[in-house]
Amino acid sequence: MQHTRPATRIATYSLLVGIAVLFAFPLYYLIVTSLKTKAELFDPVPSLVPNGLNLASYQSVLFGRGFIGLLVNSVIVGLSATIVAIAVAFAICYPITRLPASRRLRGFVLSWALSLRFLPPIAVVIPYFTIIRTLGLYNQLPALILVYTIFNLPLAIWMLRGFLDEIPLEIEQAALVDGASRWQAFRHVLLPLSRTGILAAVIIVFAFDWAEFLFAFILTATPQAQTFPVGVQGLVTQFEIIWNDMAAAGVIAIVIPLTLMLLARKYVMTGLTFGVIREK
């Protein structure tokens, strides 16, 4: 990109800015809606800016409706299911990418993983309901952790495998020749090298877990085990849509993952320093 003409550069930047605006507008309108009062929302002509910083919807969602408990459940389920899914995916990817697995085995594992995504959820929701009840996990958080782990394996396996494939085998072998055990080579050589891939996968997997509704709804019965999206669904009732609370819920759903990432910013920044030249 060093040699491009200024005109091309300007065009490229304007394109990116244009995309950013289109992308940001619904998010902006979400925030605006969350700050409006019911009266403002009933105005015949909607406005692009709220009349004031009215935080009543947030208060209503978090405390009035008690969704704060659901948020706690969501965080527990999201983090646990993400960690388990990544760990399981790593355990599956390691042998098929770092060891001389046959092409058939490798192909089988990868195709099977992707196929998990092919079956429409509506068909497996009742079977999962039966299984979870048989296991005695109905209306309990571990049920969701288990199910989300399975659902996110396709993505986690395929992303990790993409990264692991590109890390030259020689690096690990050099460590083994130097007398490291396989575990040490994995822990001190492979794991650090694949951290970008792991973190990228963690972010996407967590996002999927965080927003899931259908299974969270069917596999739980009471707020004790329900997640945030289950509560949010109730803001569209038969006769009314509680616009501002719904929008506030949407903003809260964004803020929590952002906060988590801010708390982990040390890891996020070192993990996501995309483009740092990798030693070969």
Query: Other CB atoms closer than 10 Å to residue 277's CB: what's the count?
Result: 5
Q: Which of 121, 85, 125 is nearest to 219 (CA)?
A: 125
Among 17, 18, 46, 63, binds other proteins (CB under 8 A): 46
Distance CA 156, CA 99 (A): 19
CB of 188 to other proteins, least distance (A): 18
| Residue 136 binding other proteins, by CB under 8 A | yes
Residue 241 bridge partners (DSSP) = 236
- Subset of 216-235 contacting other proteins (CB under 8 A): 217-218, 221-223, 228-229, 232-235
Site size toward other proteins, by CB under 8 A: 129
In 3D space, the residue among 224, 180, 242 whose CA is nearest the CA of residue 37 turns out to be: 242
Asked if 91 touches other proteins (CB under 8 A), the answer is yes
Binding residues for other proteins restricted to 178-207, rule: CB under 8 A: 196-197, 200-201, 203-204, 207
Touching other proteins, residues 141-160 (CB under 8 A)? 146, 149-150, 153-155, 158-159
Q: 146 burial class (0-12, 13-18, 19+ CB within 10 angstroms)?
A: buried
In terms of CB distance, is 100 or 179 closer to other proteins? 100
The answer to whether residue 11 forms part of the interface with other proteins (CB under 8 A) is no
- Residue 171 touches other proteins, criterion: CB under 8 A: no
23 is a site residue for other proteins (CB under 8 A): yes
Minimum CB–partner distance for residue 139 and other proteins (Å): 7
**What count of residues does the chain have?**
280
User: Which two tokens mark 211?
Assistant: 């927003």
Q: Which of 14, 115, 181, 184 is the binder for other proteins (CB under 8 A)? A: 115
Residues 36, 43: Cα–Cα separation, whole Å: 11
